[in-house]
Amino acid sequence: MKRYISVIILSLFAVSALYSQSRKKDYSLQVDSVLSLMTLEEKIGQMNQYSNDRQNTGPVINNQDHLREIREGRVGSMLNVTSVTRANQYQDEAMKSRLRIPLLFGLDVIHGMKTIFPIPLGEAASFDLELMRKTAEIAAEEASAHGVHWTFAPNVDVSRDARWGRVMETSGEDTWYGKQVAKVRVEGFQGNGYENRNRILACAKHFAAYGAAVAGKDYAEVDISENTLHQVYLPPFKAALDAGVATFMHSFNEINGIPAAAHKYLQRDLLKDTWGFGGFVVSDWGSVGDLAKHGYAKDIKESALLSALAGCDMDMCSESYIKNLEQLIKEGLLDVALIDDAVRRILTKKFELGLFDDPYCFNRREHELDDKNINGKYRDIAREMGAKSIVLLKNEAALPIANSVKNIAVVGPLNKSQWDMLGNWSALGKPEYVITVLDGLKKALPKANISYHEGYNFRNNELLEMPDLKNYDLIIVAVGEKSMESGEAKSKVDININKNHQQLVKNLKENSDCPVVALVMGGRPLVFKDMEPYADAILITWWLGVEAGNSIADVLTGKYNPSGKLPVTYPQHSGQCPIYYNTKRTGRPWRPKAQWVTGYMDATVLPAYAFGYGLSYTQFEISEPTIDKNAYDMDSKISVKVTVKNTGKYKGCETVQLYLQDVAGSITRPVIELCGFRRVDLEPNETKEIEFILTSGDLGFFNAKNEFVTEPGDFKIFVGNSSDNLKSTQFELIKK
């Protein structure tokens, strides 16, 4: 019997090899043949995922004998296997199993594998989609060379609440922009297929609305209208799907009373049936087992039942499936057809990756990427992405650093920290790969006297003595968060920058005669009103990855003229969270100094810095937008034109942003919403005309029945360089 099976499998390998040239192949024949040979236990095994012994992000079950279970065909995938040696050990065991079905290796490759790029929120600030595609491509190339087949990225959660620590993994608060970023990241990770082994499966996560956790508390319940779910939180997932994303991960949260892990409407009805998703859904870490903790299932057995019925195909780390699905089928509570469907989806991805042809095909490339690689070809991209991610918030003639500047004080431990520049979720990034701010500045300004001072100490949260500051021409101080202050389970009630950091900036300004430049580091919007008046320039520098120091030096010296724009609103107070630019208008819209309007008694509703805001060393003038008609029908192409002029003295790049307002709808529409942008490079005095084309689809929304519609009526169009600095025009959309 055994021999017979291997013959079939071998012939399957041969069949699949025949197909291995073309891109979108149909593997259903091969998949069905394998499926027909599998026992129920082996099928359920494919739906089971364990973690290697590192990077745990949830409870760990310690008494598992992974190697034995793999040999017994009880494991379909491993996560957190980060070396080829280890991957080979596991795959060897899979090759000893009865049907020799290869394992799939998954890992959180969030912003780079070894060459660590800026955190995703930072990259989003670049508004450079092609560069984001490139960094995802590089991450995939490096990850695949380490035997990784599958990244748990991109995180396409819309996040409007800076208290939630996972803002750092996302592209920020805007749904439309989230769609564009989701698309390029998926395409970057996956390429046109996996045949050349340098592309990996992507995973759109966390399905769904994880970023809407009440009060910004990670894992907490989400209570939003169905309309908000469709309008705000789901579109980036749909965009990922349209870009061909291979897998989805459901989220930890419940949505309006139903945990995502058991959400049949989301996983089976909407995603698989309505949207036609052909890949598979993986759970989050232990989220299937957590159903009992939610109070939605009475025990782990019922958790497995509800999750499998709801359409979750693979159980990450809870053991609910492997321990219960067989019994549930025997008891007639679960139809084996659902198991077959899940296994088919998983096996299809293994075929597409070529693992049935050669289970070690990814693992054979490690030699391409030893540590030398980190010093090689991709650093330039990391440096460019780092510089483009930086957002200049304030600049009172302090930057770029003038040639006359000779004595520079660099203050604050973040300037020297290699570890923190990697940011959270940094895969195989190593601190020793990182260029610190101090190193970057020394390299960029070899003739300057650059001295380092600690200024404050994270461990005891205390201010430290500073020397006499009168002899300096410039002070550069880094404040904000350490890398473990944003990320999973890193929610905060207070997003103010530590008082001592802010006090330090004040002290530096009051005790010196020179400009003070503040570098704000962190993974979320932070509040820093107390230090703001004392900083002559403020830059948001996130955590920029391996080239952090060079990227920051490039911007400070003017080698790169800053062009980043905020992908999230920066509030003035923690209590303003959640805060986002595309709010509804309300019956009593806020007006300055008015009473009885939407707002607060004790603070403004205005943000500190608006979505889309970011300065340059040069100035740009954006004209009024013009359109060619006053009325368009539903089939029209609406052309919006503006001219952009560089009126300053440096070459620079402006991100011209296009927003719209649907003046009156069958349900209320936001005050404005982003619907386009363009990065425009301009020499001093140069002018360019930019054209945006809108179609009626761009003007649509989900109505009260959650159907996507475009309604005729008046629309306003806004163009500018920030969501709070816009010029407008308007037109009518008429029914044909």
String of contacts with ligand NOJ for each residue 464-503, x by CB under 6 A: ------------------------x---------------
Q: How many CB atoms are closer than 10 A to CB 713? A: 15
CB-nearer residue toward ligand NOJ: 39 or 55:
55
| Cα–Cα distance, 111 to 169 (Å, whole number) | 8
| Contacting residue, 57, 198, 415, 426, with ligand NOJ by CB under 6 A | 57
Tokens of 358: 């050669």
Give the strand pairing for 247-250 and 280-282: parallel
CB-nearer residue toward ligand NOJ: 108 or 481:
108
Q: Does the protein bind ligand NOJ through residue 253 (CB under 6 A)?
A: no
Q: Does the protein bind ligand NOJ through residue 205 (CB under 6 A)?
A: yes
String of contacts with ligand NOJ for each residue 150-169, x by CB under 6 A: --x-----------------
| Cα–Cα distance, 736 to 732 (Å, whole number) | 12
Name the residue among 560, 555, 521 with its Cα closest to residue 119.
521
Q: How many CB atoms are closer than 10 A to CB 274? A: 10
CB-nearer residue toward ligand NOJ: 108 or 195:
108
CB-nearer residue toward ligand NOJ: 79 or 555:
79
Give me the least distance between CB of 205 and ligand NOJ, in Å please.
6
Residues marked as catalytic: 284
CB-nearer residue toward ligand NOJ: 64 or 583:
64
| Cβ-contact 300, 323 below 8 angstroms | yes
| Cα–Cα distance, 218 to 165 (Å, whole number) | 7
| Contacting residue, 93, 108, 142, 420, with ligand NOJ by CB under 6 A | 108
Give me the least distance between CB of 489 and ligand NOJ, in Å please.
9
Task: State how far Cα 141 lies from the chain centre.
Answer: 18
Q: How many CB atoms are closer than 10 A to CB 467? A: 11
Give me the least distance between CB of 488 and ligand NOJ, in Å please.
5
Interface positions, 214-243, toward ligand NOJ (CB under 6 A) = none
| Cβ-contact 492, 165 below 8 angstroms | yes
Q: Does the protein bind ligand NOJ through residue 284 (CB under 6 A)?
A: yes
Which SS3 state, helix, strand or coil, does residue 729 take? strand
Give me the least distance between CB of 19 and ligand NOJ, in Å please.
31
User: Which residue has tokens 């030699």?
Assistant: 367
| Contacting residue, 285, 528, 692, 715, with ligand NOJ by CB under 6 A | 285
CB-nearer residue toward ligand NOJ: 79 or 399:
79
Q: Does the protein bind ligand NOJ through residue 420 (CB under 6 A)?
A: no
How far is CA 717 from each of CA 191, 321, 602, 639, 700, rounded to the nearest angstrom? 35, 51, 33, 11, 14
Interface positions, 133-152, toward ligand NOJ (CB under 6 A) = 152
Name the residue among 219, 88, 242, 231 with its Cα closest to residue 165.
219
Secondary structure, 3-state, 522-547 = CCCCCECCCCHHHCCEEEECCCCCCC
Binding footprint of ligand NOJ, residue count (CB under 6 A): 8
**What are the φ and ψ backbone dihedral angles of 315, each rounded to 5 degrees?**
-100, 115
- In angstroms, how far apart are the furthest CA atoms of the chain? 86
Give me the least distance between CB of 79 and ligand NOJ, in Å please.
6
Tokens of 422: 């990697």
| Cα–Cα distance, 662 to 76 (Å, whole number) | 49
Q: Does the protein bind ligand NOJ through residue 280 (CB under 6 A)?
A: no
Give me the least distance between CB of 384 and ligand NOJ, in Å please.
27
Give me the least distance between CB of 546 and ligand NOJ, in Å please.
22
Give me the least distance between CB of 176 and ligand NOJ, in Å please.
23
CB-nearer residue toward ligand NOJ: 141 or 488:
488
CB-nearer residue toward ligand NOJ: 190 or 618:
190
Residue type, 450: I
Interface positions, 69-88, toward ligand NOJ (CB under 6 A) = 79
Tokens of 718: 């806004």
Which residues bind to ligand NOJ, rule: CB under 6 A? Answer: 57, 79, 108, 152, 205, 284-285, 488
